[in-house]
């Protein structure tokens, strides 16, 4: 690896800027587009290790899909006392508007982004499930493409599993649930954080990239309008807008980026929405605690991949433990995402710790606490071409069509600051390619 000169890193970052590989963030009401800094040293996962991870991820996503199907129908897991009602019906991710809807083929989470970290002893932990509109697959895809141009030998001499099959996986997933007609990718438009990804995935899959104004619903059927006044039926919508903005007739009434009546078409079984609306109830940080129990409950199996040790102040014993050990725990606000609302007890002065304890006592349902997993550092190239260690996680992409499969690649994100554990791109993190070896 030391043979990659720093010029290559700069060159690839320059190419990515040219290709528009960017993401946007809103800061103080202003839209700023940033490059997503790329580090050319890949994370390498052996075939054996990946096989194990894949089994665990498929198991987890299967159970999460069972949970969603159950919650929006009979809610047996609540009746059987495995998950308390309080963690479901008052969750902002739970949408009563979706109760009783059976999505095509019973699939709720078609594309799942599961975040993992590897601790220093080599063990993998699940950090977070993202079942709404997880983004990020396009970054390792295009980075690999550019790296292959920059250094073809690296791929012919190392047994790296080709990751260009992501578009096939995505097409299989869309085709499997398609209710007749086109697959389309619905974007809010170019001011969205992940617009690069929307356009890139459309290009790779051949699915038209559309905004809401190009779609219309007539008598519970979705159509894509063309420039000549014609309309083509749409059977699956891979939507990259969040639930609340999806349909002003059913959800947030002020939404201008949604498609009026699309929820009605979905309810009637005439279109698949990918991922299903209402998935937020299963990737809530509070519900995360219960995922291992879901695996046992629905599948009768022992979880292959563990959660980071987590406590729910909702339970009295966990509240006690959290309050007594707050200085060494990480506290997460369940309603926040993107690395916001995460506080390390060790970083807080005593008076802030007291405030936080009071807040947890007042609103126990709002927080979880976790042991800090001392996860591994991966080397990155610094400005001068030297190697420096940085905290890194892995977002694995799990796609559910006829079967559930894990994409043999993934997004490795790293923190750009030596003392930080936060790797989110919205917080300035960078990314690496993830090589899964084929031998």
Binding site for another protein (CB under 8 A): 75, 85, 89-90, 94, 96-101, 216, 218-220, 248-250, 253, 256, 260-261, 264, 267-268
Tokens read off for 284: 């809530």
Which residue's structure tokens are 């499969």? 405
Residue 156 vs 268, nearer CB to another protein: 268
For another protein, which is the closer residue by CB, 217 or 423?
217
The CA distances from residue 305 to 90, 112, 229, in Å, are 28, 16, 52
DSSP string, 209-263: EE-GGGEEEETTEEEEE-TTS-EEEEEEEEE-S-GGGS-TTTS-TT-SSS-TTHH
Q: Kindly list the distances between the CA atom of residue 279 and the CA atoms of 96, 144, 157, 164, in Å, as whole numbers in the listed order.
A: 12, 31, 42, 28
Shortest reach from residue 264's CB to another protein, in Å: 5
Q: Mapping DSSP to helix (H, G, I), strand (E, B) and coil, where does residue 87 land?
A: helix
Q: 279 with 109: CB under 8 angstroms?
A: yes
The CB-of-153 to another protein minimum distance in angstroms stands at 56
In angstroms, the CA 232 to CA 96 distance is 31
Proportion of the chain in helix, strand, coil states, percent, rounded to 5: 35, 25, 40
Q: What angle do CA 236, 198, 128 make, to 5 degrees?
A: 90
Output 306 or 363, the one with its CB closest to another protein.
363
| Residue 341 structure tokens | 């609302």
Matching residue, tokens 């997933």:
173
- 393 is written with which tokens? 């996680």
Question: Minimum Å distance from CB 286 to another protein?
Answer: 15
CB of 253 to another protein, least distance (A): 6
- Could you count the other beta carbons within 10 Å of the beta carbon of residue 259? 29
> In this structure, how many other beta carbons lie within 10 angstroms of the beta carbon of residue 70?
18
- Residue 250 beta carbon to another protein: minimum distance, rounded to whole angstroms: 7
Which of residues 71 and 114 has its CB atom nearest to another protein in the complex?
71
Tell me whether residue 228 or residue 256 sits nearer to another protein (CB atom). 256
Our CB check for another protein shows the closer of 252 and 348 to be 252
CB of 268 to another protein, least distance (A): 7
Residues 128/285, Cβ–Cβ less than 8 Å: yes
Considering the complex, what minimum distance in angstroms separates the CB of residue 90 from another protein? 5
Parallel, antiparallel, or unpaired: how do β-strands 387-400 and 377-381 relate? antiparallel
Smallest distance, Å, CB 217 to another protein?
Answer: 8
Strand partners, 22: 35
Cβ 38 to another protein shortest distance, Å: 41
- Smaller CB distance to another protein: residue 101 or 360? 101
Nearer to another protein among residue 94 and residue 298 (C-beta): 94
Cβ proximity to another protein: between 23 and 87 the closer is: 87
Residue 71 CB, shortest distance to another protein, in Å, is 10
Three-class DSSP category at 296: helix
What is the enclosing helix (H) or strand (E) of 146?
helix 138-150
Q: Which residue, 249 or 437, is less far from another protein as judged by CB?
A: 249
């Amino acid at each position: 690896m030391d043979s990659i000169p720093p010029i290559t890193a700069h060159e690839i970052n320059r190419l990515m800027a040219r290709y528009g590989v960017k993401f946007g963030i809103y800061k103080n009401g202003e839209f700023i587009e940033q490059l997503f800094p790329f580090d050319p040293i890949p994370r390498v996962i052996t075939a054996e290790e990946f096989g194990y991870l894949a089994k665990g991820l498929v198991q987890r996503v299967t159970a999460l899909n069972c949970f969603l199907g159950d919650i929006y129908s009979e809610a047996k897991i609540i009746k059987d006392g495995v998950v308390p009602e309080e963690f479901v019906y008052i969750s902002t991710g739970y949408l009563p508007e979706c109760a009783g809807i059976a999505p095509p083929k019973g699939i709720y989470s078609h594309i799942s982004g599961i975040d993992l970290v590897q601790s220093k002893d080599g063990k993998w932990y699940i950090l977070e499930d993202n079942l709404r509109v997880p983004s990020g697959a396009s970054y390792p895809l295009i980075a690999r493409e550019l790296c292959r141009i920059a250094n073809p030998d690296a791929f012919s001499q190392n047994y790296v599993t080709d990751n260009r099959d992501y578009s096939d996986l995505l097409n299989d997933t869309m085709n499997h649930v398609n209710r007749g007609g086109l697959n389309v990718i619905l974007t809010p438009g170019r001011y969205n954080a992940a617009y690069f990804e929307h356009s890139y995935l459309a290009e790779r899959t051949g699915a038209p990239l559309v905004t809401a104004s190009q779609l219309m619903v007539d008598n519970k059927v979705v159509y894509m309008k063309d420039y000549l006044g014609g309309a083509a039926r749409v059977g699956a919508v891979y939507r990259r807008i969040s639930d609340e903005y999806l349909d002003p007739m059913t959800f947030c009434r002020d939404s201008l980026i949604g498609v009026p009546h699309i929820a009605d078409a979905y309810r009637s079984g005439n279109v698949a929405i990918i991922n299903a609306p209402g998935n937020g109830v299963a990737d809530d940080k509070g519900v995360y605690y219960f995922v291992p129990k879901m695996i046992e409950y629905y599948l009768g199996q022992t979880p292959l991949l563990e959660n980071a040790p987590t406590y729910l102040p909702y339970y009295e014993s966990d509240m006690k433990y959290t309050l007594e050990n707050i200085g060494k725990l990480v506290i997460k606000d369940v309603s926040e995402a993107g690395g916001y609302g995460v506080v390390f007890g060790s970083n807080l002065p005593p008076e802030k710790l007291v405030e936080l304890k009071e807040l947890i006592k007042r609103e126990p349902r709002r927080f979880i606490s976790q042991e800090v997993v001392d996860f591994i550092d991966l080397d990155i190239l610094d400005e001068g071409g030297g190697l420096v260690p940085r905290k890194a996680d892995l977002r694995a992409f799990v796609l559910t069509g006829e079967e559930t499969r894990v994409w043999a690649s993934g997004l490795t994100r790293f923190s750009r600051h030596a003392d930080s554990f936060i790797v989110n791109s919205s917080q300035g993190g960078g990314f690496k390619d993830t090589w899964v070896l084929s031998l």
